[in-house]
């Protein structure tokens, strides 16, 4: 009897020890490897069971945006946006690019060691060499080399490799911030991508331009709205675009950028400071006039890694709902302000509910802007 009780007791103790280790392991896993604290805070963190990195985030002040801006960009290399078969003089239909392994979304950087800057150069060098060519290609984050042989097209008697390429893009969005301390800017809150391939375009050369809103297409459930505008003073750009990232576009301005609503810079608000509740955005829907519109921050996704979907917002301002139906294309980058701090930017609309959309934390834009 005594031995049986002792045996059961040993099992219970062993079970308790194993369970304790499992709970302890879960707790250690739960502790983030990268902890961010703020310059105006003092914290003592004792974590004897796990090594962590503590980042001290700086205080930042920025001029909020809301300006309608145009973006004109030359792509680094030339982007493959299509593949086509070519009819040869022998009556065959072939695609040298496809056969050699080229894919839509590839970026042709060099042909036979010569850098490619535009579609015209690709055409010229292919027809100059005429025989086997070596392509240096960027595919996402990888660099690959492809060898292929051009063929003569019966259509125009030119040598071709069977690809459609592009080297430029342009569009309209919204400025998020201007940093008066170093004359840098951020806009959009997401990347400029090629509409055919979804590829994030690499910047060879780009400019930020003044833009005026000419008309607004109302957003409805299932049909996103859109801002239509024009560039003006194109010979006097606002700044130089240097970086196109998943979290926004960034660069340097040629002069100061002012905001008529906020004449002085605002502090930024990190994600631990954001609250569910009222806030507002700055955006332009008429000419070049920036206006303030009320929103609600409905959900905050606390994140340790950058994402363009940091919070869910809902437009509550009846003026904005009447003008646009809510969030529409071209409003991406509109700064989100709460408690007199810039906390983020509008990034995406809910297609089936244009009153709602996503916002990115301002800290993610700054972290990926190379301006810190």
DSSP codes of every residue in 217-274: EPPBTTB--EEEEEEESTTS-SEEEEEEETTEEEEEESS----SS--S-EEE--GGG-
C-alpha pair distances (Å), 205 with each of 75, 93, 116, 117, 256: 7, 37, 13, 10, 21
| Segments in the chain forming alpha helices (H) | 2-30, 96-100, 119-129, 318-324, 362-367
DSSP codes of every residue in 270-288: -GGG--SEEEEEEEEEEBT
Neighbours of 101 (CB within 10 A): 14
Q: Which of 211, 310, 324, 332 is catalytic?
A: 332
State yes or no: is 190 an active-site residue.
Answer: yes
Pairing mode, strands 68-83 and 107-111: antiparallel
Contact assessment for residue 223 and residue 52, using Cβ atoms and an 8 Å cutoff: no
Q: Which of 267, 288, 294, 317 is catalytic?
A: 317
State yes or no: is 332 an active-site residue.
Answer: yes
Neighbours of 122 (CB within 10 A): 22
Q: Which of 67, 190, 348, 368 is catalytic?
A: 190
Active-site residue list = 190, 317, 332
């Amino acid at each position: 009897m005594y031995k049986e009780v002792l045996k059961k007791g040993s099992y219970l103790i062993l079970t308790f020890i194993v369970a304790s280790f499992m709970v302890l392991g879960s707790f250690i896993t739960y502790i983030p490897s990268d902890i961010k604290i703020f310059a105006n805070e003092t914290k003592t963190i004792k974590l004897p069971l796990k090594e962590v990195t503590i980042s001290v985030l700086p205080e930042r002040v920025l001029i909020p945006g809301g300006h309608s801006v145009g973006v004109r960009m030359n792509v680094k290399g030339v982007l493959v946006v299509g593949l086509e078969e070519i009819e040869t003089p022998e009556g065959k239909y072939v695609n040298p690019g496809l056969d050699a392994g080229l894919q839509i979304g590839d970026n042709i950087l060099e042909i036979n060691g010569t850098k490619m800057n535009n579609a015209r150069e690709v055409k010229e060098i292919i027809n100059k060499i005429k025989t086997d060519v070596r392509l240096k290609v960027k595919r996402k984050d990888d660099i690959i080399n492809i060898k292929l042989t051009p063929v003569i097209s019966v259509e125009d008697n030119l040598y071709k490799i069977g690809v459609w390429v592009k080297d430029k893009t342009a569009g309209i969005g919204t400025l998020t911030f201007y940093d008066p301390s170093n004359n840098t800017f951020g806009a959009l809150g997401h990347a400029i991508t090629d509409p055919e391939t979804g590829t994030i375009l690499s910047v060879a050369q780009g400019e930020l331009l003044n833009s005026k809103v000419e008309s607004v297409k109302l957003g409805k459930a299932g049909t996103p709205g859109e801002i239509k505008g024009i560039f003006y003073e194109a010979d006097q750009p606002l700044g130089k675009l240097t970086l196109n990232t998943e979290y926004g576009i960034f660069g340097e301005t040629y002069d100061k950028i002012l905001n008529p609503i906020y004449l002085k810079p605002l502090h930024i608000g990190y994600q631990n400071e954001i609250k569910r509740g009222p806030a507002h955005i700055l955006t332009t829907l008429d000419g070049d006039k920036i206006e303030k519109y009320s929103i609600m921050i409905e959900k905050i996704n606390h994140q340790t890694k950058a994402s363009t979907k940091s919070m869910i917002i809902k437009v509550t301002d009846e003026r904005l709902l009447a003008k646009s139906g809510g969030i529409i294309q071209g409003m991406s980058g509109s700064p989100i302000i709460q408690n007199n701090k810039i906390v983020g930017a509008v990034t995406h609309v809910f297609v089936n509910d244009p009153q709602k959309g996503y916002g990115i934390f301002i800290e993610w834009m700054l972290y990926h802007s190379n301006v810190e």
